[in-house]
Structure formats: structure tokens, C-alpha cells
Chain A
Amino acid sequence: MTTAGEALLSVEDLVITTRGARPTTIVDGVSFGVPAGGSLGIVGESGSGKSMTLRAIDGVLPVGVQVASGAIRFRGRDLLTLPPREHAALLGPEIAMIFQEPMTALNPTKPVGIQISEGPRRHLGVGRRQAHDLAVDLMRRTGIPDPERRVTAYPHELSGGLRQRVMIAMALSCEPALVLADEPTTALDVTVQDQVLKLLSTMCDEMGVALVFVTHDLAVVRQTCRDMAVMYAGKLVETGSVEQVFADPRHPYTLGLMDSAPDFDQPDRELVPIPGLPPNLANLPPGCVFAPRCRYARPDCTTPPIELTEIGVGRTSACRYHADFRSVAVAAVAGDDHE
């Protein structure tokens, strides 16, 4: 995490709600910064608001969901107050997005080469002939075999791994400063996931592109990102460098995620599930939102305010007992063993 001053992207107190008479808060007061060339992994389970945060930055929130307050500053300019045309002009040359499902994100009626070079033609004034060469070159650099032939292929003619490489080629086509990736490898085989992750990290490093990476897989964040942020029920609960957070998680939810995920390097470690279910966003528990499922909850955890506080250099936690939450004897949580 860096301070807002030097950040390429800085999200400030972002609140996302549903539209309508009784709006539900989906993302509640999220703030983070990404420096130029940095990489941030946002982790959390389904419904934690991680994808919504990412979509708000790209300006592609689903219908019925809106940014209620806050700011998303990119190079100091607030994307939320920018006229739509100026915002659109940034998407591609400055900010690009990679979606989870390339089959639905690619246009099925156009050859992939045309789609890859669409950005450069539109934003960089690249001509038709050059565009073809550029597409072939980008496809080669993203490791697509036989790019001269594949440049005229339609998305359905490519495998899932190749489609995701096309998405990466598209995202990097205008050499943006920031790439947003929403679970880009979740639908892929482990071997292809490994190829795509390594490609993405290497290309971002080489081109100095900053990366915001949303995933539910802690191991993927560990291998791809420098900083990480953990989200739960629409709120950030812990942030810090990947090294620090993995070495010493300072929020019980982060620890819970780590304990419930199997790790290949620790085959004998017992998996400890997080008891209970994530709360209904329309009816959040008082105080700490994680308290009802927390093994280490103390009586005053349900007393507001619970805020994300700085606990060290570049580290924050929303746990009131972040320093020693594990010192409490594990309490039996109601509804244990059920999700």
C-alpha cells in the first residue's frame, strides 16, 4: 500500500449500493492505492464485493448497482466525476480489464485479430495494415502458437487457454498503465493457469503495468501479487504486503481463509473450515461483521465502531484485537459444522 499522493490508482472510501427505494450496501467504504507498476490482489469469497470494486474502477457495474459515494482517482483525476467521453477515452490506453470468462467477453462474430487491434486502431491511430501486424505480434508475445493463422480465427475456434491469452493481448494492446483482472484463471486447467499467471506477471513486469487482481485463491495471490487486500461482506478487513500477511495474518478472517484452503506444501495440515455463513448484506450484524463466525470473538466485538486501522507500515486490519486475537480460547461458535 502506498499513500494517495504517489498512487497511480487510489480508491477512496468507495461505497457501492443497489438502486431503488431501499438500497443495500454491497461495498462499504473501501480505500486502497496502487502505485505505478505495483500489483494488488483482492481476495474474498463469493459476495464479498471484490468483483464489484473492480467493475466500479472500469465503469462497468451491472444494471441496478451504483457508486453511492467515494472517489476513484486515476493519475489524480476522479473517474467518477469525469465526463463519460473522457472516461471512455481512458479505457484501453490507460486502464484495461481482463474478465473471468473470455467466451462471453470476446465478440463471437469477429476474428480475434480484429478484436486485439481494435484498441490501437481507435486510440492510437494505427492503420489497417499495421493493425494486422500488431495483432500477430501481440499474439506471438502472449505465447499463442501459429499467430499468423490464428489471427483470423473466431473465439469459438480457440481453446479456453488461448482465449484467455487473446484477452491478455487485447488488454495490453495499447500498453495501458493499469490492468484489472477479474478471476482470469478460475475457469482454466492448473497447467494452463500456471502458464497464464506467469505470462501475466512477466508481461506486467516488463511493460511496467500495474495490476489489480481479484481472486478467491490465496495461493494465486501469493504467486502473482506484491500487495494484498482481504474483503469480507463488502468491507476491507486486512491489507498489507503479501509477504507480511501470509507470514502473520492480523485478522481472524484472513487466518480462516488460510486454514480452510488446502496447500500442496503442507499435506498434513488439518483443514479448518470457517463456521457459519457470510451475513446477509441487507442485515449486517452490529460491530464487527465477522464476529458471528469468528472463533476468537470477544464480547465487545459486537460493539461499534469497528474500523480498518493502520497497524504498521503499509498494514491495516479491521480486527479490534489484531495484535493478539489468537490469545483467546477458541469459543464454540453457534451452528458450528454447518455452512
Chain B
Amino acid sequence: MSEPLSTATTAVRTPGEPVLQARGVKVRYHEPSALSRLIGRRRAGRRVLHALDGVDLDVMPGETLALVGESGSGKSTLAKVLVGSLPPTDGTVLFSGRTLPARRSSAMHRRIQMVFQDPYSSLNPRMTAGRMLAELVPERGEAAQQAVLTLLGTVGLGEDTVTAYPSQLSGGQRQRLAIARALAVRPDVLIADEAVSSLDVSVQATILQLLADLQRDLGLSLLFIAHNLAVVQHLCQRVAVMYLGRIVEVGDAQEIFGNPRHPYTQALIDAIPRMGARRIDAAPALPGEPPSPINLPTGCRFHPRCRFAQDICRTTDPPLVPVESDQESDRVSACHFSSTFPPQARSTT
């Protein structure tokens, strides 16, 4: 890795203040019901899909925060809202404490950048790596060329990559180029949406190493969206767990994986295939699939799949609140029984 790029605004921020915040973010889609379609009335009887249903999340400066959960939990929708490509139906996004307008300035767009899962479809196939980066860096002329070379060095690509088209690069090199493109505008926050999921393990390890180095050297805040908890555990300091459009648990990565305070987090952990000895229990860690975000369950939205569910879980929606038994840590959980989780007598279903 060559000399690190400097990020413009990192120094002036106070350490305690979140760089990026979501406050009560909701994203709803309206689907006309079959009946209203039939009689041609668009508004009557519309069904509502709750993609995000009141999300509060703080991304701290220079931290690596993971967003985990099953497909359909709203991880990518939240990423789109944060990056500004999808206006929320309700709620606000704040950058360094300032509320962002629905239409962001291009200067603000530069602050928050994104890397996607598939480097094959997210890079322009008709542009060389050099041109792609040169049009993004703030420098112009000779200085721009130098900046491009520095950038390529930062992500571990050779100088000869300048003239290469994406089709001439391997999967790992393409993902490096996608990261370089995101870094070209000197962002404060980098959102990586399943950025290592489609890569072979040996390549995945190099990209994880790169992300860790960048986060450390550039003081970037990294929001890492992934479904592979083993990868998350390796890279991230804090973890936010999502289920059906809500955040159900947030906490320090080590604490959350060692001592989950929400049954959904526990189930995600139990479902990870391990390299250690073969497990014998044949019962799946979590039966069934998430219910439809159109017909949300009453009470706690996880209760139909929760093996510890009690009467209160079927009637009352638990708020995301600090876990009483973990006062000293900043753990929050949306479970009625978070303080006593896991229950001593484990009922098996």
C-alpha cells in the first residue's frame, strides 16, 4: 500500500458524534390490491409493503459497522436511503448532525460512497480504469494522473491497470477498482453492500484485508452489509442485526456474537456452518422463512419463528431499548426478554 489518501473532514469532527445517522427511517411501497385494480380505483384498498419500518442507526466516525440479516430484512434498502439514492417515505438522514434534504447536493453525495456486490455489472465496461478514476478525482490535468496512480496503489492495483478495461481484470481486481472508484471522491463513509460475497475465498480474504487497511489508514467509516457472519466477525467492530425492516439488536461485535440478547441473533449465529467438528443436531437453527412484509405479524414481528415466544410477544411490539443487564455496554435489543436471554430452560420445537 502506498501513501494513504487524506480525507478532508475527518479531523474537524468530535469523536463522540455519529458521522451518519438514520432517524425513524421508513420506506413503504404501495401495492394495489387485486380488487382495486379490477375496479380501477388506485387508492382504495391498497396494501402497504413495509420495507423499512422505523430504523434508527448511528454510524460513528472511523468505525466498521456491520449490517446483517436475511434477504428481505431491509439491509440494502437502508443502504440506498443512507447513500441518498432512495428518498425515505418518512424519517431523516443526518450527516455530522445536520439533516440532509431529500435532494442532496453533489458535494454531499461525495461524502457517502457505495461499493456493490457484483463488480461485473457495476463498472462501465467501455471505460478504462484510468479514465473512470480521472473523471472523479478532484485534481485536474497532470495532478489528476498522479492522483489516479496513488489511488490504484492504495487499493493494491499496479500502475499498468490505468489502461485496462474491466473485462481485462479478474474478479478480485475489479472489486479493487470498484473500491478505488468509491474512494476517488474522498468520502467519509463507505457502504459496502455484499462486496465480498461473490468472490472466491482466497480473493475474499485479500479484499477483506484491503477494507480493514483502508478503514484504519484513511479513518473511513465503513458500513459493511453482509450475510456471512464469519466474515463480519473478522472485519467489524459493531454489528446491527435487521429483521423485517427493523433493527432488532445493536452492539459490540465480540459481545453480540459471544452473548446475543435477541433470539434472532442467536438463530443467525447457530445457522453458520463451522469448520470445527460436525454438529449432530438435525433440527435447523431457525425454521421457516421471514413472513411477508405486507402482512406483518402482530406484536413482536419475530414471534412466529421464535421458539421462546410468550403471550406478551404475540400482542406487544417490543421497542429497541438498552439491555438492562448490560448497563455498561451500549447494547440495545428489541426483545421483551433481552435481559434474561437466553432462557435457562430451553424448549425445543
Contacts and interface: CB of A to CB of B under 8 A. Distances in A.
Contacts of A198: 282-284
Interface residues of A, number: 47
Contact of B271 (A45, A193, A271): A193
Contact of A339 (B173, B231, B284): B173
A331 interface: no
A265 B274 contact: yes
Contact of B206 (A192, A194, A265, A339): A339
B11 interface: no
A256 B273 CA distance: 19
A274 B172 CA distance: 12
A99 interface: no
A218 to B, nearest CB: 6
Interface of A: 45-46, 145, 159-162, 189-195, 197-199, 201-202, 216-220, 222-223, 242, 246, 256-258, 260-267, 271-274, 277, 337-339
List of 3 A-B pairs having minimum Cβ-Cβ separation, nearest first: A219-B273, A194-B271, A274-B202
Contacts of A242: 278
A246 B173 CA distance: 30
Nearest to A218: B275
A191 B271 contact: yes
Given A271-B208, A338-B158, A223 B274 contact: yes
Contacts of B205: 260-262, 271-274
A337 B156 contact: yes
Nearest to A225: B278
Given A46-B200, A223-B278, 12 more contacts: A191-B286, A193-B273, A194-B271, A194-B285, A258-B275, A260-B204, A261-B201, A262-B230, A263-B274, A267-B234, A271-B209, A273-B209
Contact of B268 (A190, A202, A217, A218): A190
Nearest to B197: A186
Interface of B: 70-71, 156-158, 170-173, 200-206, 208-209, 227-231, 233-234, 254, 257, 267-276, 278-279, 282-289
Contacts of A189: 70-71, 227
B70 A263 contact: no
A312 B143 CA distance: 61
Nearest to A160: B71
Contact of A192 (B173, B209, B234, B289): B289
B289 A339 contact: no
A262 B234 contact: yes
Given A195-B284, A264-B233, A273-B203, A219 B268 contact: no
27 contacts: A46-B171, A159-B289, A189-B70, A191-B286, A192-B289, A193-B271, A194-B272, A194-B273, A194-B285, A194-B286, A199-B284, A219-B230, A223-B274, A256-B202, A260-B204, A260-B205, A262-B231, A262-B233, A264-B269, A265-B275, A267-B233, A267-B254, A273-B203, A273-B206, A273-B209, A338-B158, A339-B170
B325 to A, nearest CB: 23
A264 B201 CA distance: 14
A277 B233 CA distance: 26
A192 B73 CA distance: 14
A229 to B, nearest CB: 17
Given A45-B201, A273-B202, A264 B229 contact: yes
Given A264-B269, A273-B209, A45 B200 contact: yes
Nearest to B172: A339
B297 to A, nearest CB: 15
A219 B274 CA distance: 5
A210 B282 CA distance: 18
Contacts of A274: 202, 205
A263 B230 contact: yes
Contacts of A219: 230, 272-275
Contact of B257 (A263, A267, A277): A267
B289 A264 contact: no
Given A190-B271, A191-B70, A191-B271, A202 B231 contact: no
